[in-house]
Amino acid sequence: MRSVYCGPSRSYVVDVDSGLAMTAVPLKHRSAFPPHPAAPRVARDAPASQFAALPWRRMPDRSVRVLLITSRETRRWVIPKGWPMLDRTPGQAAAQEAYEEAGVVGEAAARPIGAYRYGKRLRDGTVQDVEVQVFPLEVLVERLAFPEQGQREKRWIDPVEAASLVDEPALQAIIRAFKPR
């Protein structure tokens, strides 16, 4: 038979039959564990980070066109974006997302040209505040086949028109102000 004594900093388990006593280290504080799946959903306070590409190309008449894509679920006009990647810089992560979502390959700038925020609805129903850094991506190749082909629409358009199609005011300003080298 075992008897348990719980003190403020240690627990003791005593095997009454043998007379042996063992100490046990207390468990982690419950805040160190993930919430129960049935617990109410509360969005985190600090914004999450994402990286986006603003794909662009220069036309034969020297004008600039930017690429917008539709989001998969709401079909809003957006730019390719995604979560940080362990093995890539922010600009490289943005370029990877542009390939996966729009099939474009090119050279991303080393520094962002701006940032905007939006509310991303997560799978569990919460809305996460996300700050997105935007990296210009000069498109060198547009692939016919790419991972999310057929899941989105794509449109190459003038930056002023593109700005009018996106919902986020800060992203509108970034696109309107974009002037490639």
- 20-52 pLDDT, tens digit per residue, is 544 444 444 434 445 545 444 545 578 999 999
Q: Which amino acid is it at 41?
A: R
Q: 3-class secondary structure for the chain?
A: CEEEEECCCCEEEEECCCCEEEEECCCCCHHHCCCCCCCCCCCCCCCEEEEEEEEEEECCCCCEEEEEEECCCCCCEECCEECCCCCCCHHHHHHHHHHHHHCEEEEECCCCCEEEEEEEECCCCCEEEEEEEEEEEEEEEECCCCCCCCCCCEEEECHHHHHHHECCHHHHHHHHHCCCC
Domains identified in the chain and CATH numbers: 2-26 (no CATH), 48-177 (3.90.79.10)
- 147-160 pLDDT, tens digit per residue, is 999 999 999 999 99
- 71-94 pLDDT, tens digit per residue, is 998 899 999 999 999 999 999 999
Q: Can you read off the two tokens belonging to residue 169? A: 């005011």
pTM of the entire predicted model: 0.74
Q: Using alpha carbons only, give the angle 68, 76, 43 rounded to the nearest 5 degrees.
A: 115
- 129-181 pLDDT, tens digit per residue, is 999 999 999 999 999 999 999 999 999 999 999 999 999 999 999 999 999 97
